Structure 1
Amino acid sequence: MDNEADIFYRTLPKVELHAHLNGSVSFQTIEKLLSRKPHLNIEHSMTAIGKGQRRTLDECFQVFKVIHQLVDSEEDILMVATDVIKEFAADGVKYLELRSTPREERNTGLTKKKYIETIIKAIQQCKNDGVDIKVRFLVAIDRRNGTEVAIETVKMAEEFMLSSDGLVVGIDLSGDPMVGHGKDLLPALQKAKDCGLKLSLHLSEIPSQREETDLLLNLPPDRIGHGTFLHPDVGGSQSLVEKVLKKKIPLELCLTSNVKGQTVPCYSNHHFKYWYKLGHPCVICTDDKGVFSTDLSQEYQLAASTFGLSHEDIWEHSQQAIDCIFAPDDVKQQLKQKWIDMKPQVFK
């Protein structure tokens, strides 16, 4: 980032809607975790994909396994979640939806319930410390774990939706797209929808998911994660596109993640261009800012430089993202007012 542009993108107020907690752990936080657990013999290069590097999707999932070894106690989760929230705030993010799959670790006594409670505690602590960011949490279903675990996860999410003072707002469906089938998770996702949880589903991450995507679009989800292979130019179909357009389902688009994970060949080929040209709601996100060595300011600048967007275009894009959040209308109104208040200083 050059200096003048750097200042614009950093001061630009932003919304982040697709951030996996463990994938968002920064270099600095990894340092702290490594110093706590030297016996694991983990090196930095095993936890992030650096500039110019690429990995297969499978190799990206291996990186998460390494990070999970470092984050296995309540103490770790509290530190990681607090650091991640503060880093997003420092990057000008004013509203953040974090997502993570509840895990249990027998060695440390961590339970799935404690996992969620600790993330909520981190959100509340940051709020009490006056960090200028609103944070909500999506409880993630890992598609690899099957129907039973998915239903158990939804039950837990529902409990927390009712008891967390509005901090738990929805369900994320993620995990290795090459494992399992969405039809097995439909009962859990429908249950989540019926009880008022919002749904953000990773869809069409790989080319061979047309049938599954079609099925899950019937729910319909409230937002789509990636949607890389929805449109016909890349092996999707016009009927899938029509469904997304008709139901006005916003897409969470993660440029660097897709390029480094090799599901998109290069930035100029990213499907952001396809949906943006259609005027369809899409939100630029990071996915895993730690693993992919990026931040939201960089992602916005990449989109602008790749697709010829002006500062005014980018401002509008950032502002329109507010309509895609899972928080209630009063929060949306507060954010819209914040954008109005901040515009003069961003464009000075």
Structure 2
Amino acid sequence: MELDESSCIAKIKKLPKTELHAHLNGSISQNTAKKLIDLKKLKSGDNSTFDLNIPKLASNDLPGCFELFSLFHELTDSPEAIYLATCDVIKEFYEDNVLYLELRTTPKASFAGHMTQKSYVEVVVKAIEDTCSTVCQKMTVKLLLSIDRKRSVTDAEETMKIAEEYTTSTTKIVGVDLSGNPVCDARHLFPVLEYVKKAGLNLTVHISEVPNTFEEVEALLKIHPDRLGHGTYLHPSKGGSEKNYDLLKQLKIPLEVCLTSNVISKTVESYESHHFPLFRDIGYPIVLCTDDKGVFDTTLSKEYYLASKYYGLMEDDLFNHSFNSINYIFATEQEKCQLQELWKQQNNKNN
């Protein structure tokens, strides 16, 4: 007898997993959002009520999703809120048996002058350290600092400098991410991204999430990022150029794939028409991720289930996918070896 969806996800939950594409604010769950609303009301003395239903709001196109992101940014408008959100997001991934997590976030400044990009990062790093030293001791959590496409070069340079400083003093921050609304042209930020690579920092970029110009995609690939996010329109059958596709296959830059995110935000029509199987069939390095688990009401276990349901991945395939994902993390070879041993131990225990 075939297992139903909830039983399959419960079984997949036992698999150790890596999450390499998770935005902090987009990963805020409905429960955490309610806590943040209560915190916001407490700080402001507001006694009004506000009902938030994330799954209902999640059924939208890409512009609608970015409106929801803006709401979460409003909720994380103080050091206390940022700390609470980070701790909760980490705990929820841990409950899904994600044992290696790379969170990404765009450092905020201002908050009425009470926050700088650096102090924002300090709060997030503190939350990571506190959570991993207490309730999530078997989990490794790293941080990527995101550069928003629509931000100025000055803002981007500040973010890059913070990342560069932290990578020499801590192991928590492991690189830089280019993200933000994909319809915004990012070419003004390319010199910053090139510096990131020259400085020896890890770089992942959101690429071809919407039908961007072939020139932008080619220029991003030529910077040689260490990972790529989404890649929805990279394949020629999805509207990508043969030239860029050939370059992609030559570089073999690992691709972070987010199934539910793409379907709900309508950058792909359906799970059946997703580009995941196209890249899997040619043996291209890919890793399943959630993108924004709160916004899209998903978990990494659910993403694995969807890959099993729509693309025929069996139990061994799912474990091998998770195990191979360790190759693509931003960590030392020693850390990768330690994680591989942990994965084997967990697999033996489950069997």
Q: TM-score range by the shorter chain?
A: over 0.9
Q: Give the 5 Å matches for 1:1-348.
A: 2=5, 4-38=7-41, 39=46, 42-45=50-53, 48-50=54-56, 54-107=59-112, 109-131=114-136, 132-163=138-169, 165-181=170-186, 183-346=187-350, 348=351
Instruction: Give the TM-score normalised by the residue count of structure 2.
Output: 0.94
CA contact (8 A) 2:17 2:99 kept: yes
- After superposition, the CA RMSD in angstroms is 1.6
Q: 1:222 to 1:82 in 2, by over 3 A?
A: same
Asked whether the equivalents of residues 141 and 172 of structure 1 are also in contact (C-alpha less than 8 Å), the reply is yes
Say if 1:255 and 1:299, in contact at 8 Å, map to a contact too.
yes
Unpaired runs of 5+ in structure 2?
Answer: none
How far does residue 104 in structure 1 lie from its aligned partner after superposition?
A: 1.5
Q: Alpha-carbon deviations, 1:90-120, whole Å to 9, x = none?
A: 1010100000000023337122111101111
Could you tell me the TM-score, scaled by structure 1's length?
0.94
CA distance in 1, matches of 2:245, 2:55: 32
Q: Please tell me whether the aligned partners of residues 40 and 75 of structure 2 are also in contact (alpha carbons under 8 angstroms).
A: yes
Q: Could you say what secondary structure the match of 1:326 adopts?
A: coil
Alpha-carbon distance in structure 1 between the residues aligned to 2:293 and 2:314: 24
Deviation string, structure 1 residues 148-178 (Cα, Å, up to 9, x no partner):
2212211111111112x21111000000111
Conserved 8 A contact 2:26-2:69? yes
- Which portions of structure 1, spanning 4 or more consecutive aligned residues, are displaced by more than 3 angstroms? 1-4, 38-43
Q: Residues of 2 paired with 1:239 and 1:54: CA distance?
A: 35
Distance 1:15 1:196 in 2: 23
More deviation, 148-157/17-26: 148-157
- Structure 1 unaligned runs (5+)? none
Q: Distance in 1 between matches of 2:177 and 2:114?
A: 25
Contact 2:206–2:230 (Cα < 8 Å) also in 1: yes
For residues 318-344 of structure 1, what are the alpha-carbon distances to aligned partners after superposition, in whole Å with 9 as ceiling and x for unaligned? 110000000111110011001111112
- Tell me the distance in 2 between the aligned counterparts of 1:177 and 1:276: 24
How far does residue 133 in structure 1 lie from its aligned partner after superposition? 0.9
1:144 aligned counterpart, secondary structure:
coil
Partner secondary structure for residue 96 of structure 1: strand
Aligned positions, number: 342
Q: Is residue 151–residue 187 contact of structure 1 (8 Å, CA) maintained in 2? A: no
For 1:268, what is the secondary structure of its paired residue? coil
Change over 3 Å in CA distance of 1:30–1:135 after alignment to 2: same
Cα separation, 2, equivalents of 1:311 and 1:67: 35
Conservation of the 8 A alpha-carbon contact between 1:99 and 1:137 = yes
SS in 2 for 1:145: coil
Structure 2: distance between partners of 1:61 and 1:232: 27
How far does residue 42 in structure 1 lie from its aligned partner after superposition?
A: 4.7
* Cα distance, 1:23 vs structure 2: 0.3
Counterpart of 2:289 in structure 1: which amino acid?
A: C
Task: Check the 8 A contact 1:50/1:293 in 2, yes or no.
Answer: no
The question of whether the paired residues in 2 share the 8 Å contact of 1:72 and 1:108 is answered with no
Give the residue type in structure 1 aligned to 2:128.
I
3-state DSSP of counterpart to 1:55 = coil
- Contact 1:14–1:92 (Cα < 8 Å) also in 2: yes
Shift of 1:4: 4.1
* Contact preservation (8 Å) 1:146, 1:180: no
